[in-house]
A and B are shown apart, each in its own frame.
Chain A
Amino acid sequence: MNGYNFAYLDEQTKRMIRRAILKGVAIPGHQVPFGSREMPLPYGWGTGGIQVTASVLGASDVLKVIDQGADDTTNAVSIRAFFARTAGVQTTTHTGEATIIQTRHRVPEQTLSEGQILVYQVPQPEPLYTLESSRAETRRMHGLAEYGLMHVKLYEDIARFGHVSIAYSYPVMVNARYLMSPSPIPAFDNPKLNMMPALQLFGAGREKRIYAIPPYTAVRSLDFDDHPFRLTRAPHVCALCGSDNTYLDEVVTDDRGGRMFVCSDTDWCEQSRDRRQEAAE
């Protein structure tokens, strides 16, 4: 785009961000402060993810952007258009074709492979923030791996409700060292983070933090031996493609209680419909 550098940010800024990313990769799950820039999109709308993507994006990359698992949600459209405009890179909706996938709130259903990068948009990088509001204090707690507060929170949930009541942003331990927020993905997606072949980068623009999970890193959702981590999903099959193991959106179809359940990952759903059709032919 005229008057702007490739992928909007200037090269010095990208270098600064890549250094933060490298540090994040070297210390999996550790939040690295970085000089987050003010972006032409609002804070809370993916500025961290956009800065990370801009910093790792090359001219030959193929970019996919999803929000809620879908390529066609308005903010995903807007971010994809931003990079198409400022970097002129090829974009795709197919998970398998993308070299970089920027996401908000979901991990694609299709298993990612080596060489792919998954960039998460992170509103609140601090997993302890609801329990301790001071960032100076939580930083100290991470330094000492002092995570008793979170275990007590989970224990209290179990004591009150019989199970952990956290449905999304379910905290994980990365490489058995750092407590990390997986960003507000449903807990259903948490197991996908474990030993993922792709590189996972997390960008929080407003909070000015970057963190990372290198490929093939152990990521464990917090739980107890007698109360193991459990997945939650709507107990239905996708009404469009028939998948019975994907994360489903509940769509209200009328005002008489009508509901249908469909895959939240639109690319997965389309491909699985194609596969079904091929099998039928």
Chain B
Amino acid sequence: MAYVAVKGGEQAIAHAHAWLAEQRRGDQAVPELGTDQIEQQLGRAVDRVMAEGSIYDRSLASLAIKQAQGDLVEAAFLLRAYRTTLPRFASSLPVETARMEVARRISAIYKDLPGGQVLGPTYDYTHRLLDFALAANGGATQAAPAMDFPAERLAPVSAILQAEGLIEGDGAPSRAADLTREPLAFPAARSTRLQALARGDEGFLLALGYSTQRGYGSTHPFVGEIRVGTVAVEIEPPELGFAIDIGDITVTECQMVTQFAGSKSEPPQFTRGYGLGFGHCERKAMAMSLVDRAMRAEELGEDCTAPAQDVEFVMYHCDNVEANGFVEHLKLPHYVDFQSELETVRRMRADAARAEAAE
């Protein structure tokens, strides 16, 4: 057989793209999916893609989901690659989640509390039975009964503990670093760690958070509070000298209250694990708060033995765009290195065979 050099990579790529587009569209007899439908009806997917894509834009996230055929990691990658080209014209002021207009707010550490427990739109108490009425497009929508949102500002649950001095403070405000602009260095500030976690892969954080519950870096966590709702984003342009509201975003916040036995300088008290993400992302925010607390082991003088406590390990591996790229790069050609390995193995086998023959 004659050797035919593998030419025409360019044409092969063009053909692959055409095929992909055709496959994405699917059966032409089925109406094409509108990005507005994704935005409205696949909201949790949109939320996840915004969180991991690290940009709050529902319509762009919907487009990314459509373009990626619903592959959410690919969609997050599309958003990231777009985000990186955007100019930064300001940093927002810290978002005040205490002033959140809540749609959901629960606490697991108090039976009742000022403002009450607000379940909001949650899957928590649904029975996971497939609803075949939805398949038949018969999702007759009943309007949800109107809810009286707590009008007053809902103080964070942690404030109740703080009033008694039972929980550590929030820490002094500091300038937040941006790991998309500055390379990671260790030790990494907590704000940098939280940024990494907020952008991090939900599945990875879930597994790591779970591992802390199974004895790999236990933190004895309680859900102090989870709240979901809209917060105002404000910037303070230097030429104005006062803050202006540039819009509202939906976020999910989780404050995990964890045990701390005390140290030489600190009395026994509760400590905090913090989670915050774009959209409605409770699983992510909870896992994030567990991992955030686990990563503080060294700071709090605890033993660092578990993966979730290893800051370098968590931060270098939580990003699914990085992880996905590097795992998938293994399908690129590696035949030059493989050839080198082949020759080395052949040489080693020859050496071993010679040694055996000599014996």
Identify A39's interface contact among B84, B337, B348, CB under 8 A. Answer: B84
Q: Which of B7, B83, B84 has the most CB of A within 10 A?
A: B84
Known A-B contacts: A43-B322, A133-B312, A232-B347. Give 7 more (CB < 8 A): A43-B321, A44-B329, A68-B334, A68-B336, A72-B7, A240-B3, A249-B339
- A selection of 21 A-B contacts at a CB cut-off of 8 Å is A38-B81, A39-B81, A42-B321, A44-B325, A68-B333, A68-B335, A68-B336, A72-B5, A72-B7, A73-B9, A74-B333, A77-B9, A163-B347, A167-B340, A167-B344, A186-B337, A188-B340, A248-B339, A250-B339, A258-B1, A260-B3
Contact partners of B328 in chain A: CB under 8 A: 42, 44
Q: Which residues of B contact A133 (CB under 8 A)?
A: 312
B85 interface contact, C-beta 8 A: yes
Q: Is A60 an interface residue (CB 8 A)?
A: no
Q: How far is the CB of B250 from chain A (nearest CB, A)?
A: 24
Tell me the minimal C-beta distance from B187 to chain A in angstroms.
8
**Which residues of the other chain, A, contact B8 by a CB distance below 8 angstroms?**
72
Residues from chain A with a CB closer than 8 A to the CB of B329 are 42-45, 123
Asked if residues B332 and A38 are in contact (CB atoms below 8 Å), the reply is no
Q: Flag the segment in B25-33, B176-184, B251-259, B267-275 that touches A.
A: B176-184
Q: Is the CB of A161 within 8 A of B351?
A: yes
* A83, chain B: closest CB distance, angstroms: 14
In the complex the two chains form, what is the Cα distance from A184 to B325 in whole Å? 17
Which 3 pairs across A and B sit closest by C-beta, in order of nearness?
A: A44-B329, A43-B325, A42-B325
CB of B83 within 8 A of CB of A38, answer: yes
* A167-B341, A249-B339 known; A72-B9 Cβ under 8 A: yes
Query: In the assembled complex, which residues on chain B have CB atoms less than 8 Å from the CB atom of A148?
Result: none
Whether A131 is near chain B, meaning CB under 8 Å from some CB there, is no
Is A37 interfacial (CB 8 A cutoff)?
yes
B12 located at the interface, meaning its Cβ lies under 8 Å from any Cβ of chain A in the complex: yes
Query: Measured between alpha carbons, how far is A186 from B335 in the docked complex, in Å?
Result: 10
Report whether B340 and A4 are in contact in the complex, using a CB–CB cutoff of 8 Å. Answer: no
* Docked complex Cα distance between A93 and B187 (Å): 45
Chain B contacts for A184, CB-based, 8 A: 334, 337
Q: Report B345 CB to chain A, min CB distance, Å.
A: 9
Closest to B324 in A: A42
With contact pairs A135-B186, A161-B351 given, residues A78 and B13 touching in the complex (Cβ less than 8 Å): yes
* CB atoms of B312 and A134 under 8 A apart: yes
Other-chain residue from B1, B9, B80, B344 in contact with A232 (beta carbon distance below 8 A): B344
Quick check: which of A28-36, A111-119, A195-203, A217-225 contacts chain B, the rest being far away? A28-36
Q: Is B343 positioned at the interface, with any CB of A under 8 Å from its CB?
A: yes
Q: Does B10 contact A (CB under 8 A)?
A: yes
Closest partner residue, chain B, to A20 (CB atom): B183
A53 interface hit (Cβ, 8 Å): no
With an 8 A cutoff between CB atoms, is A2 at the interface?
no
Q: How far is the CB of B126 from chain A (nearest CB, A)?
A: 37
Q: How far is the CA of A3 from the CA of B327 in the complex (A)?
A: 31
Nearest residue in A to B351 (C-beta to C-beta)? A162
Q: Quick one: which of B6, B183, B186, B348 contacts A35, CB cutoff 8 A? A: B183
Does A187 count as interface, using CB distance less than 8 angstroms? yes
Closest residue to B329 on the A side, CB-wise? Answer: A44
**A208, B184: Cβ atoms closer than 8 Å:** yes
A75 / chain B contacts, CB cutoff of 8 Å: 332-333
Q: A204 → chain B, closest Cβ, in Å?
A: 11
Q: B322, B325, B339: which contacts A186 (Cβ < 8 A)?
A: B339
Q: In the bound complex, do residue A249 and residue B183 qualify as a contact, i.e. CB atoms below 8 Å apart?
A: no
Give Cα A51 to B125, complex, Å: 49
What's the Cα separation between A254 and B3 when bound, in Å?
Answer: 10
Most chain-B Cβ atoms within 10 A of its Cβ — which of A37, A247, A248, A262? A37
Q: Which of A126-146 contact B (CB under 8 A)?
A: 133-136
| CB of B56 closer than 8 Å to a CB of A | no
Contact A165 B322 (CB under 8 A): no
> Residue of A at shortest CB range from B82?
A40
Q: Could you tell me how many residues of chain A have their Cβ less than 8 Å away from some Cβ of chain B?
A: 66
Report the Cα distance A8→B341, complex, angstroms.
37
**A106 engages B77 (CB within 8 Å):** no
Partner of A45, one of B7, B185, B332, B340: B332
> How far does the Cβ of A9 sit from chain B's closest Cβ, in whole Å?
9
Most chain A beta-carbon contacts within 10 A, residue among B1, B83, B332, B335: B332
- Partner among A4, A68, A123, A254 whose Cβ is within 8 Å of the Cβ of B85: A4
Chain A 228-257, CB-CB to B under 8 Å as 1, else 0, gives 000011100001100000011111011000
**A14 an interface residue at 8 Å Cβ cutoff?**
no
Compute how far the CA of A248 lies from the CA of B312 in the bound complex, rounded to whole angstroms.
39
Residue B342 interfacial (CB < 8 Å): yes
Q: Which residues of A contact B123 (CB under 8 A)?
A: none
CA A239 to CA B184, docked complex, whole Å? 48
A155-194 Cβ-contact flags toward B at 8 Å (1 or 0): 0000001110101110000000000000011111000000
In the complex where A42-B324, A239-B3 touch, is A35 in contact with B340 (Cβ < 8 A)?
no
Residues of A within 8 A of B316 (CB): 135
For B335, the chain A residues whose CB sits under 8 A away are: 68, 249
A67 and B333 contact, CB distance less than 8 A: yes
Q: Does A264 contact B (CB under 8 A)?
A: yes
Q: Closest residue of chain B to A47, judged by CB?
A: B325
A227 to nearest B CB, angstroms?
14
Complex alpha-carbon distance, A91 and B229, angstroms:
52
Chain B residues positioned under 8 Å from A232 (CB to CB)? 340, 343-344, 347
Q: Is the CB of B336 within 8 A of A249?
A: yes
Taking the complex as formed, is A266 at the interface, i.e. its CB lies under 8 A from any CB of chain B? yes
For the complex, give the distance between the alpha carbons of A58 and B183 in Å.
Answer: 26
Q: In the complex, what residues of B have CB within 8 A of residue A247's CB?
A: 336, 339
A36 proximity list for chain B (CB < 8 A)? 183
| A38-B180 in contact given A33-B185, A73-B333 (Cβ < 8 Å) | yes
- The smallest beta-carbon distance between A106 and chain B, in angstroms, is 6
Q: Which residues of B contact A64 (CB under 8 A)?
A: none
